[in-house]
Amino acid sequence: MTLVHVNTIKIYDTTLRDGSQAEDIAFSVEDKIRIAQKLDELGIHYIEGGWPGSNPKDLQFFQEIKSVSLSGAKVVAFGSTCRAGLLPENDPNIQALVEAGTEAVTIFGKSWDMHVLEALNISLDQNLEIISKSIHFLKQRVPEVIFDAEHFFDGYKKNPSYALSILQLAQESKADWIVLCDTNGGTLPFDLQRIIQEVKKKVHLPLGIHVHNDSEMAVANTLIAVEEGITMVQGTINGYGERCGNANLCSIIPNIQLKMGINCLTDAQLMKMTEVSRFVSELANLPHPKYLPYVGESAFAHKGGVHVSAIRKSPLTYEHIEPERVGNRQRVLISDLSGESNILYKATEFGIDLESKDPNVRKILDNLKQLEHEGFQFEGAEGSFEILMKKALGKHKKFFELLGFRVIVEKKEEEGPPFSEATIMVRVGDQIEHTAAVGNGPVNALDNAIRKALEKFYPELKEVKLLDYKVRILSTKDGTAAHTRVLIESGDGESKWGTVGVSENIIQASWQALVDSIDYKLLKEKEQSD
């Protein structure tokens, strides 16, 4: 293997263009502006904003980004070579690239002869001509021109001499960078490495790599390319992109920086990696992929008791880096696979004084395993687990007592929605509160009623919002009589917590989770005031 030492790698992000081509993603102009600012904070060197010649949204982005102050990133406009039969100065796509007013432009040209002959329906010589004219024209008007050799690796496999002639022509036409593209994402690392070695014998311009993930090789191929001396890495945040996605910068950047020892970002910028990953997911209106390496919520999560016992002695036993280096954190999960080490770890996390020889450790663990067997799940409900621990240790305060509730669902018209009302009676100290509330469903009505009853005594509950509500049927064989698990996520603007309830009655399961949510908030308020 040829190992080439380089001082630094330029990171080229194409989330706003290639990433937005992923299924279910549609960024607004405002989304793209905000993401560009975040990428700039992260230390990305090039931000590809879109294709100004293809749609009004991208055109607007390039107009608005001019008034945004970026600390170091270059905004890049993307487009194709001019069309056959048109001079670049008469091609609307090329004109739009110039009018975008960016410091750099990227144009792509076909390097696979099959695409030239069948997709463009022009001769191989015509393709060479439009690539040369387009680069020459842009170099006279834009400071930096990047040429993407589209489908290069597939083209090289079929017709190596023609694919290489495309790169040599781009070099002669004074492009600043030549980017080798695995557009179909089907090239394997050993083939990609061999081809790059051949390219370097013919091309002496700085090279970049742009790969898709259709064979799950995008990150591996990118790292191989870097090892072969390529100095521009293209990809997207979270690997978003068409079909199976692009190379995931959230994995590539830490691997280059922390594993290969090559500079990409500063240490402080690298610590923003997880934050940026989640920010882009949020603006894409997609759940953040929890199993992503480095930045996923599960990347440094430990569940098995043996694992937790080991990381309490040394995190290196089951963590390949310190999670804080990429802005993530270590987590220990609670489940029926837990051991005593999990309980002790969570006790420390919750600020509970608990020694390993305390018999309560085994008591809590046995209770946990029994509840998990009954259908409770505490991985996403750590609020409920903290309450469970404090009850076992006699550190839980009972804030109110339920005297009864009733939930009514009534439908008065065939076409109209059902009407839900909950009536509740609780005792707080020596006072009894009896109240009612409506909601858009029985659980919402019950939630509104319990809050209404308790806010008189605990005004801090006004801060609490129900953020998410999930229902899971635990056994389909029992039909409508099956046990149901309800997971609730609540928040108060400063923190979030999960709680859980299980019952064959969905209202009762919801009640358990709602009560734990309220208890958790009140416990935290009490601890802060003590």
CATH code at 159? Answer: 3.20.20.70
Please tell me whether residues 348 and 489 are part of one structural domain: no
Residues 420 and 321 in one domain: no
- Give a yes or no: residue 387 inside a domain: no
Give yes or no: residues 317 and 274 share one domain. no
Supply the range of the domain harboring residue 479: 462-530
Closest by CA position to 358, among listed 347, 369, 370, 368: 347
**Domain boundary residue, one of 283, 314, 336:** 283
CB 263 within 8 A of CB 257: yes
Q: Which of 236, 209, 237 is nearest to 222 (CA)?
A: 209
Q: Does the pLDDT value for residue 475 go beyond 70?
A: no
**Greatest mean pLDDT among 235-244, 323-332, 469-478:** 235-244
**Can you give the pLDDT at residue 6?**
58
168 and 226 assigned to the same domain? yes
* Assigned domain for 238 exists: yes
Residues 404 and 345 in one domain: no
Q: Which of 408, 430, 457 is the C-terminal boundary of a domain? A: 457
Identify which has the larger pLDDT, 415 or 517: 517
306/368 Cα distance (integer angstroms): 17
Q: Does 289 reside within a domain?
A: no
User: Given pLDDT bands bounded at 50, 70 and 90, which one contains residue 1?
Assistant: very low
**Residue ranges in 142-248 assigned as alpha helix (H):** 152-158, 160-172, 189-202, 218-227
Residue 355 lies in a domain: yes
Residues 472 and 438 in one domain: no
**What is the C-alpha separation between 525 and 514, in angstroms, rounded?**
17
Task: Give residue 299's identity as a one-letter amino acid code.
Answer: A
CATH number at residue 421: 3.30.160
Residue 493 and residue 435 in one domain: no
Asked if 40 and 102 sit in the same domain, the reply is yes
**Is 395 within a domain?**
no
**Structure confidence at residue 2 as a pLDDT band (50, 70, 90):** very low
Predicted TM-score (pTM) of the model is: 0.73
Could you give phi then psi for residue 11, rounded to 5 degrees? -100, 125
User: 2-16, 183-197, 249-263 — which is least confidently predicted?
Assistant: 2-16
Residue 210 has pLDDT above 90, yes or no: yes
Per DSSP, the three-state class of 407 is: strand
Domain endpoint, select from 457, 476, 494: 457
Q: How far apart are CA 364 and CA 226, in angstroms?
A: 50
Over the chain, what is the mean pLDDT? 90
Q: Are 129 and 45 in the same domain?
A: yes
According to DSSP, the β-strands at 431-439 and 401-410 are: unpaired
Distance spanning both ends of the chain, measured CA to CA = 63
| Contacting residues for 486 by C-beta, under 8 A, at least 6 apart | 469, 470, 471, 472, 500, 501, 502, 506, 509, 510, 512, 513
Is 381 within the bounds of a domain?
Answer: no
- pLDDT band at residue 391 under the 50/70/90 scheme: confident
In this structure, the answer to whether residues 361 and 444 fall within a common structural domain is no
- Is residue 393, in this structure, part of any structural domain at all? no
Considering the domain architecture, whether residues 367 and 482 belong to the same structural domain is answered as no
Which region holds residue 418: left if phi is over 0, alpha if psi is between -120 and 50, else beta? Answer: beta
pLDDT band at 361 (very low <50, low <70, confident <90, very high): confident
Looking at the fold, whether 101 and 244 belong to one and the same domain comes out as: yes
| Count of structural domains, the chain | 4
Task: State both tokens at 131.
Answer: 């690539």
For residue 512, give the CATH number of its domain: 3.30.160.340
- Dump pLDDT digits (tens) for 71-122: 999 999 999 999 998 999 999 999 999 999 999 999 999 999 999 999 999 9
Flag whether 249 is in a domain. Answer: yes
